[in-house]
Amino acid sequence: MSPCVNGDFSMTDTLLSTGETCWAVETAERFSVIVDAADYYRFAKAAMLKAKHRVFLIGWDFDARIELEPEETTVEGPNRVGRFMEWLAQERPDLDVRILKWDIGVLRSLGRGETPAFVLHWLMPKGIDFRLDSAHPTTSAHHMKILIVDDQLAFCGGIDMTMGRWDTRSHEEGRPGRHSPRGTPLPPWHDVTTCVTGDAALGLARLAALRWNWATGEELAPVPPVEDGPHAYWPDGLLVDFENVDVGIARTLPRYEGREHINEILAAFYALIRAAKDVLYIESQYLASRRICEVLIDRLSEPDGPEIVVINPQTADGWLEAKAMDTARVRMIRLLREADVYHRFRIYYPVNEAGRPIYVHAKIMFADDRALKVGSANINNRSMGYDSECDLVVDAGEDRDGRARVARIRNGLIAEHLGCTPEEVAETLAAKGGSLIATIDALNSTGRKHLMPLMAREMTLAEELFAESDAADPLRPVGLRRVVRSLLRRAPSRRIHQMRAARRNRLEARGRIPSRDG
């Protein structure tokens, strides 16, 4: 029986089950986690310069105006990503350069200041095969973020090449490179992606070819063999986290025109949550999936279950996202805290040394020092069934060296948020008996970057009703009529009365209003 089904794990079980928790298991000759876009953009530019046959970029969004190195140019070629890719295609006429972008993302492009002429320029052929991907249900999103070079090296994670993503791991106030294409200063931004070579890169290339075929009807010819091998593509300066490690490629794909619904990522979430013995460490843009929270609640109810530490942004980015995701998060936090009878749940948001919130866009999860999952999927309904997503999973199992590598990546992320070193995190964690919560309490200092507890505010009745509906965050493809029915069905007078009564009971219990019994 699959580990994602029975929920029973031993150290000899693998979390990588083809057809359930992942689409394929492939060996990565090299695998690295890259934190924050300053490093990703620089390494991606260096890798594309080594291309001999094909550069293929798949994105939720793509803004040709952004600078890959906004503060200091260290890599050859033009600095703006659009101009760089045009230059690359013109300098090497035999190079196949392709970009596949979610079609509704064009509206976002116009909304953030790109002129229609600029967008049209990118829709016209000029050495780059730029396509818009409309092979999705209505209002669904293509959310994968993948870059492939000659099928030898691939980046896969949560970072798009678009406005607002660039930042360094220091996230300091007033960073000069953190600005819009028009020079407007932008807030700190935290993100994560990966770099892989070998069969893992080839597996991502196969997925990219499928996406291209679904979007265009065209079949991509295979990339010719490369004599130098994948090591020749590895960017200088990129630390190798793993060598010759099995990597699970997990997907979410909605049902569409005969294509079956695929939810390997949901199964991978379940598997990692149920496998953790001591600590679940999660960074996500949202905490809105009831399915995921129910499994977390199960673990909190166990007397000897793991600590659960979640890092979120203070609030979602954008008005609609805040309305949908923040209200859903309030409900999830409330349920998790009610279940947290053993005091093992914490949720924080990071701030820089000036006290400004750092936006968390990363999608990464650790089960102890055993396994990690990183990619494009958020903890919301859309990522579990409605949008297209791609995550990578590494399971170190019992391997001591592999577990040390998983721990090093996790400790590096925690150190980034606490303004200290990974060594300090590791030493404090050992001194606190493996308690991550006690470690954060010991190292958290307001005189530097730190973590702030995320408090669940009271929702208005309108927000409660909106959170109860699945209109903004559906789990399955839905039409407009079903969205309207969902909103109307959730709002009869009896339901409103029940929600008002529940809200009053919470306020009475907290002493915010007088008790009706008093």
Three-state secondary structure of 258-309: CECCEEHHHHHHHHHHHHCCCEEEEECCCECCHHHHHHHHHHHCCCCCCEEE
Please report which confidence band the pLDDT of residue 458 belongs to, taking 50, 70 and 90 as the band edges. low
Q: At 35, which amino acid appears?
A: V
What's the mean pLDDT in 298-315?
96
Taking 3-state DSSP, the helix, strand and coil percentages for the chain, each rounded to the nearest 5, stand at 35, 25, 40
pLDDT tens-digit map of 269-295: 999 999 999 999 999 999 999 999 999
Please report which confidence band the pLDDT of residue 490 belongs to, taking 50, 70 and 90 as the band edges. very low
471 versus 272: the higher-pLDDT residue is 272
Cα–Cα–Cα angle for 321, 161, 317, rounded to 5 degrees: 15
Torsion of CA 45, 284, 471, 495, to 10 degrees: -170
CB neighbour list of residue 450: distance below 8 Å, 6 or more residues apart: 350, 351, 417, 418, 419, 444
CB neighbour list of residue 255: distance below 8 Å, 6 or more residues apart: 137, 261, 476, 477
Does pLDDT of 323 surpass 70? no
What's the mean pLDDT in 137-162?
95
Give pLDDT, residue 468. Answer: 53
Please report which confidence band the pLDDT of residue 14 belongs to, taking 50, 70 and 90 as the band edges. confident
CB neighbour list of residue 99: distance below 8 Å, 6 or more residues apart: 56, 57, 58, 59, 62, 85, 128, 129, 130, 131
Total-model pTM: 0.87
**Domain 24-244's class?**
alpha beta
Give pLDDT, residue 503. Answer: 55
CB neighbour list of residue 481: distance below 8 Å, 6 or more residues apart: none
Domain ranges for the chain: 7-11+246-453, 24-244, 461-509
What's the mean pLDDT in 489-502?
47
The rounded mean pLDDT for the chain is 87
Give pLDDT, residue 24. Answer: 98
* Alpha-carbon span 149 to 474, nearest angstrom: 34
470 versus 172: the higher-pLDDT residue is 172
Count CB neighbours of 128 within 10 A: 22
Query: Tokens for 92?
Result: 């090497």
Count CB neighbours of 353 within 10 A: 15
Give pLDDT, residue 125. Answer: 58
CATH of domain 7-11+246-453: 3.30.870.10
CB neighbour list of residue 411: distance below 8 Å, 6 or more residues apart: 422, 425, 426, 429
Does pLDDT of 473 surpass 90? no
What's the mean pLDDT in 307-324?
79
* Alpha-carbon span 13 to 214, nearest angstrom: 35
Q: To which H or E segment does residue 89 belong?
A: helix 81-91
Give pLDDT, residue 467. Answer: 53
* Alpha-carbon span 426 to 306, nearest angstrom: 18
Length of the chain as a residue count: 518
The closest of 337, 322, 336 to 473, measured between CA atoms, is 322
23 close to 264: Cβ distance less than 8 angstroms: yes
Does pLDDT of 484 surpass 50? no
Please state at what angle helix 264-275 crosses helix 290-300, rounded to 10 degrees. Answer: 10
| Chain center to CA of 508 | 38
The closest of 270, 293, 392 to 6, measured between CA atoms, is 270
* Alpha-carbon span 267 to 21, nearest angstrom: 5
The closest of 247, 95, 83, 170 to 420, measured between CA atoms, is 170
Cα–Cα–Cα angle for 90, 91, 92, rounded to 5 degrees: 90
Please report which confidence band the pLDDT of residue 462 belongs to, taking 50, 70 and 90 as the band edges. low
Count CB neighbours of 476 within 10 A: 15
Give pLDDT, residue 479. Answer: 46
The closest of 54, 255, 32, 242 to 156, measured between CA atoms, is 32
62 versus 495: the higher-pLDDT residue is 62
DSSP letter assigned to residue 60: S
* Alpha-carbon span 103 to 80, nearest angstrom: 22
333 close to 347: Cβ distance less than 8 angstroms: yes
Q: Collapsing DSSP states into helix, strand and coil, what is residue 345? A: strand
| Chain center to CA of 309 | 16
Handedness of CA 471, 477, 480, 484 (dihedral sign): negative
Does pLDDT of 441 surpass 50? yes
Q: Do domains 7-11+246-453 and 24-244 have the same CATH topology?
A: yes
Give pLDDT, residue 326. Answer: 77
* Alpha-carbon span 355 to 349, nearest angstrom: 11
The residues facing 148 across adjacent strands are 56, 154
Give pLDDT, residue 488. Answer: 43
Query: Tokens for 471?
Result: 């209109």
CA–CA distance from 349 to each of 242, 316, 359 (Å)?
Answer: 29, 11, 8
What's the mean pLDDT in 441-454?
96
* Alpha-carbon span 375 to 143, nearest angstrom: 10
The residues facing 130 across adjacent strands are 99
Does pLDDT of 486 surpass 60? no
Give pLDDT, residue 321. Answer: 61
* Alpha-carbon span 250 to 21, nearest angstrom: 7
CB neighbour list of residue 484: distance below 8 Å, 6 or more residues apart: none
What's the mean pLDDT in 434-442?
98
